[in-house]
Structure 1
Amino acid sequence: MTTQLPPSVPAPLTGARFALGAIAVALATFMNVLDSSIANVAVPTISGNLGVSVDEGTWVITLFAAANAISIPLTGWLTQRIGQVRLFTGAILLFVLSSWLCGLSPTLPILLGARVLQGAAAGPLVPLSQALLLTTFPKEKSSSALSLWAMTATVGPIAGPALGGWITDSYSWSWIFYINVPVGLFAAAVVWFLYRDRETATHRLPIDKVGLLSLIAWVAALQILLDKGKDLDWFNSPVICLLAVFAAVAFVFFLIWELTEQRPIVDLRLFAGRNFLGGTVAISVAYGIFFANLVLLPQWMQEFLGYRSVDAGLVTAPLGIFAVVLAPIMGRIMPKSDPRVLATLAFIGFALVFLMRSNYTTGVDAHTLVVPTLLQGIPTALFFVPLTAIILSGLSPEKIPAAAGLSNFVRVFAGAVGTSLLSTGWSNRTIMHHARLMEQATPYNPVFLDSITSLERSLHVSADRAVAFFETKLTAQAAMLGLNDIFWLSAVTFIAIIPLIWVTKPGKGAGAGAAAAGH
């Protein structure tokens, strides 16, 4: 056992130290959240510069999310072994190093390796930033600490796409990663200076190595399967079949081991509670759809509408406006409200937004793109806090850290899986619509022949060039119809998972209290 520190709670920071500490911790959170979305609009540019397809480029997003998901359950164990402050500072510095490596990457495999390291380093940042903020603020102002954290976390969707687009268009995609270096170094230096004498007690606890390795095995195999399935024609490929079998066997082994291990790395017994089960499944499915659409929308705008990266970022940026404005209000209404009602309203709001988008056309204007994105900020503000309250409601204090870690793991991994599934679904629906539209493009269809003739005359090109131009327009139309299908499916799914919320029974006032305790 290492040096045992007194169990007393450190006094809150005051004056300039308080302001500087809150800013530094918030910056670390902002850097993490920003990096989960800043690459979204840059994927087409990164893919082009590295000589790979956009589908392969989405690995930049999904592998970060998968590595992040795997590292989250380790936060509790690492905190007890290393200490809260040392772990938080070390995670920031590792995040800075991996960001620098991302910017230097000359090939996709090297970039993906750096993104995996970056995602792993990001895992402890979110839960530890919440914990450090709570020690920075006086106990009676803990709700203000959580509001600051929520506002910082939701600024990412505002700044990420717009900032990423501007940097990509004005400089180079590498700089979307390089900007983390000065921010991270400043945050790490301030946190270490202010908090190093407030370190938590450490213990030499054994780690569930078998559970960790099996977790990595099935998550990695499943993620590769989802990302490469489309390129390899799914289960017609022996590689995909082998990955599916390996992932299934590793997952079953993981379940059996964790349910029988005395000190499991992931406490699966928490799923026996109806609040935890219903809330975790609901928030994970919802987040998977939410995050996947944040990836697909800017891709479509750049590939088929001709938007620059910065323009696509500006169109998606309004998502965070209502989320930031409503965050402090949520802190006040949560203790007086049934979290199930708020979560239900959020899901209905998401469904309405996606229904609005399901009627897009290839001639859609910027205003029609921005309005649903702006309105989506309202259900986003109603989304996380009530469902977190439901998940943690009724749990004893000693189980809340494990429950928060597990629910975050499932949610973040669902974001990676959702991106892969909806990306594949969009591609498949685009192919189907393309085939149906091409059925009409035959020499025996007078309408098609008239269209080609009209293009020849208006564009002053040959028949072959006119046919190629027609094919480009038809592909864009097929992609639009395919994406509309994804939007419609997203809306239906949000309505379909509402019953999961009402399976839960959070006690009156317990939800908000649990959420606060969990944070």
Structure 2
Amino acid sequence: MANIVSMPAHPTSVAMHRPLLAVFAVLLGPFMVGFHSRMFGIGLVDLKGAFGLSYDEGAWLSTLATAPQIILAPAVAWFAAAYGIRRVIVGPALIYAFISAIIPFARDYHVLIGLHIGHGALLGLFIPATLMIIFQTLPSKWWMSAIGFYAFRAAFTTNAGTGLLDFYVQHLGWQLLYWQDVVLAPLMALLVLKGTARREPNRELIRNADWGGMILFGSGLAMLFVAVDQGNRLDWFENGVIVSALLGGAALIVAFFLNEVFVAHPWASISAISARNVILLLVVSLFYLMSASSNTALVPNFLINVMQLRPEQVGSTLVIWACVPLIVMTPVTVWAMHRVDGRLVLFAGLCCFAGAALIGTGLTSDWSGENFRTMLVLQGAGHILTFLPVIAVAIANGDPKRAVAVAAYIQVIRVLGTQTAQALMTTFIRKGEQIHSYSVGLNLQRGSEISADAISAIGRAVASSGQSLAASRATAVVAQHVQKQANTLAYIDAFWLTFYCAMAGLVLLAFVTKAPRGPLSP
């Protein structure tokens, strides 16, 4: 297996004497993936209009454009170890650029789906290869800084993507969502070509390849992703497609684990993550994803869906109050990771999310972007204070000889864990809104004094439209207010949920022991 952790601190190959090029490649790939994923999710409404898609067709386009990422992502570290980073990145990046160039011209739905499936599969190669590039190319003293940039891009693209998409749509055209990668992907390929070493394929690793395990694992995870992504829209277990996808995905995952037990050379044996600290940190990362949804989902969705703000208004708020603190705190966090125990930095990050969630529990239906300033500052700082130490401490606690297997499970959490957190939060808010609508509605029953006075007052205000319509319009206005208040109460409950997730992460962190000495330990 490839040893990505105990790589030599000072590479001797001539091709490795260009570490800055490798650093730029490390930055460019994840930023490209992050911006595209965020803008695609937010811009789906514009894309449905541009491609002439119905609501259901747009929903399936989103799912089928993302699910292929998880088919290949867990195996990317193995492919890089077996065939070399150049072969994994350079050719696929050029194909990806070509597909990105032609997607905006597609109008047939089936062609569009096919292009997005290929597009998503290739997109899934770039982020998993990043850590391999870091550990195989850079001197060990630069590892923490490179991982810091890697962690930085996740929160930055999430918060800046809204504003960038609006700029494209308003000034340059929605096609730039795809066409930006026509330039960036070949540039990344060139940087990888110039900044990494040329080497021959690992014949022994290829000869002993666990192809069955890779196919079972990737296919099973993709089916689970489809179920999770479509579950909220199709009402989960009430829909046969969701039930079938869940059962099929679970069966393939069980088959994968059985394969790893009996195959001669397992690719990603579950024992690779059996170390106590690694398990705890992976679970902490799941709680981090849930608590971070207060930034990635709750704030922008409340401002857009409840307060009816335009994307550019939301985007500017997120850039100023979340991205700026993130930029400031990234070098500070890297500096701290070189000098103090990573668990203390992780503790500070989870506390930031807990504090932001507590502020969110004071939400009212009158809040605008300005009311989220303090919360966004805490969330921006919390992202880097949490994500960087989770990665660094988990790698420092892992077995270097089984790094490829560990990398497979990390990608599962990155893709499927993130989507599961978003789906659970969406379902939680939807169900909460229904419950609160019913509860608030009980106090506004027809004939009650409060509701009658409200409808009467609003009816007088809209009386110019005619007496026959005034009462019905007044009732509709009251219903809109009820729904708005129910949504606000549902978001308050969601902020409480993120607070409890952050606290659960802190409790588990208390059981994580100190990492052994190494390049990623202070």
TM-score with structure 1 setting the length: 0.85
Q: 1:67–1:498: structure 2 CA closer, same or farther, 3 Å change rule?
A: farther
Distance in 2, matches of 1:353 and 1:59, equals 34
Q: Pick from 439, 443, 446: which aligns with 1:443?
A: 446
Equivalent pair of 1:393/1:507 in contact (CA under 8 Å): yes
Q: Name the counterpart of 2:252.
A: 250
Q: Name the counterpart of 2:496.
A: 488
Q: Name the counterpart of 2:5.
A: none
SS in 2 for 1:505: coil
Q: 1:216–1:138: structure 2 CA closer, same or farther, 3 Å change rule?
A: closer
Equivalent pair of 2:26/2:134 in contact (CA under 8 Å): yes
Q: Pick from 442, 460, 478: which aligns with 1:470?
A: 478
Equivalent pair of 1:392/1:511 in contact (CA under 8 Å): no
Q: 1:377–1:384: structure 2 CA closer, same or farther, 3 Å change rule?
A: same
Q: Name the counterpart of 1:407.
A: 410
SS in 2 for 1:364: coil
Distance in 1, matches of 2:490 and 2:112, equals 30
Between 1:356-365 and 1:456-465, the stretch displaced more is 456-465
Q: 1:231–1:406: structure 2 CA closer, same or farther, 3 Å change rule?
A: closer
Q: Name the counterpart of 1:300.
A: 302
Q: Name the counterpart of 1:200.
A: 199
Equivalent pair of 1:350/1:379 in contact (CA under 8 Å): yes
Distance in 2, matches of 1:185 and 1:230, equals 37
| Superposed displacement of residue 59, structure 1 | 6.1
| Superposed displacement of residue 95, structure 1 | 3.3
Q: 1:151–1:289: structure 2 CA closer, same or farther, 3 Å change rule?
A: closer
SS in 2 for 1:438: helix
Equivalent pair of 1:354/1:491 in contact (CA under 8 Å): yes
Distance in 2, matches of 1:507 and 1:477, equals 48
Distance in 1, matches of 2:233 and 2:364, equals 27
Between 1:261-270 and 1:125-134, the stretch displaced more is 125-134
Equivalent pair of 1:289/1:415 in contact (CA under 8 Å): no
Q: Name the counterpart of 2:187.
A: 186
Q: Pick from 223, 226, 238: which aligns with 1:224?
A: 226
Between 1:374-383 and 1:254-263, the stretch displaced more is 254-263
SS in 1 for 2:363: coil
Distance in 2, matches of 1:109 and 1:351, equals 45
Aligned AA (1:10):
S
Matches for 1:34-433 after TM superposition, within 5 Å: 34-46=35-47, 50-53=52-55, 66-100=67-101, 102-104=103-105, 106=107, 114-132=115-133, 140-151=141-152, 154-192=155-193, 194-195=194-195, 198-204=197-203, 205=206, 206-291=208-293, 293-317=295-319, 318-433=321-436
| Superposed displacement of residue 427, structure 1 | 1.1
Distance in 1, matches of 2:54 and 2:433, equals 20
TM-score with structure 2 setting the length: 0.85
Distance in 2, matches of 1:150 and 1:52, equals 36
Superposed CA deviations along residues 145-188 of structure 1, whole A, max 9, x for unmatched, are 44454555554234322101222344543332222212223333
SS in 1 for 2:127: helix
Aligned AA (2:199):
T
Distance in 2, matches of 1:147 and 1:243, equals 36
Distance in 2, matches of 1:370 and 1:105, equals 41
| Superposed displacement of residue 238, structure 1 | 3.9
Superposed CA deviations along residues 355-409 of structure 1, whole A, max 9, x for unmatched, are 2122222211221123311221111121122212332234343223432342232
| Superposed displacement of residue 283, structure 1 | 0.9
Distance in 1, matches of 2:59 and 2:358, equals 25
Q: Name the counterpart of 1:4.
A: none
Equivalent pair of 2:356/2:374 in contact (CA under 8 Å): no
Q: 1:291–1:443: structure 2 CA closer, same or farther, 3 Å change rule?
A: closer
Between 1:74-83 and 1:365-374, the stretch displaced more is 74-83
Between 1:344-353 and 1:63-72, the stretch displaced more is 63-72
Distance in 1, matches of 2:44 and 2:364, equals 23
Equivalent pair of 1:280/1:411 in contact (CA under 8 Å): no
Aligned AA (1:225):
A
Q: 1:72–1:231: structure 2 CA closer, same or farther, 3 Å change rule?
A: closer
Q: 1:392–1:27: structure 2 CA closer, same or farther, 3 Å change rule?
A: closer
Q: 1:144–1:215: structure 2 CA closer, same or farther, 3 Å change rule?
A: closer
Q: 1:422–1:342: structure 2 CA closer, same or farther, 3 Å change rule?
A: same
Aligned AA (2:307):
L
Aligned Cα RMSD in Å? 3.2
Between 1:93-102 and 1:180-189, the stretch displaced more is 93-102
Q: 1:510–1:134: structure 2 CA closer, same or farther, 3 Å change rule?
A: closer
Aligned AA (1:221):
M
| Superposed displacement of residue 267, structure 1 | 2.7
| Superposed displacement of residue 109, structure 1 | 6.9
Equivalent pair of 1:68/1:122 in contact (CA under 8 Å): yes
Aligned AA (1:507):
A
Distance in 2, matches of 1:456 and 1:146, equals 60
Q: Name the counterpart of 1:517.
A: none
| Superposed displacement of residue 494, structure 1 | 1.4
Distance in 2, matches of 1:249 and 1:110, equals 30
Between 1:221-230 and 1:106-115, the stretch displaced more is 106-115
Q: Name the counterpart of 2:520.
A: 512
Distance in 1, matches of 2:25 and 2:212, equals 36
Aligned AA (2:226):
I
Q: 1:220–1:136: structure 2 CA closer, same or farther, 3 Å change rule?
A: closer
| Superposed displacement of residue 227, structure 1 | 3.2
Superposed CA deviations along residues 463-508 of structure 1, whole A, max 9, x for unmatched, are 2222222222322222222122112111111112323223322335
Unaligned ranges ≥5, structure 1: 1-6, 515-519
Equivalent pair of 1:64/1:115 in contact (CA under 8 Å): yes
Distance in 2, matches of 1:96 and 1:361, equals 45
| Superposed displacement of residue 80, structure 1 | 3.9
Aligned AA (1:354):
A
Between 1:39-48 and 1:28-37, the stretch displaced more is 39-48
Q: 1:124–1:226: structure 2 CA closer, same or farther, 3 Å change rule?
A: closer
Q: Percent identity?
A: 22
Equivalent pair of 1:73/1:409 in contact (CA under 8 Å): yes
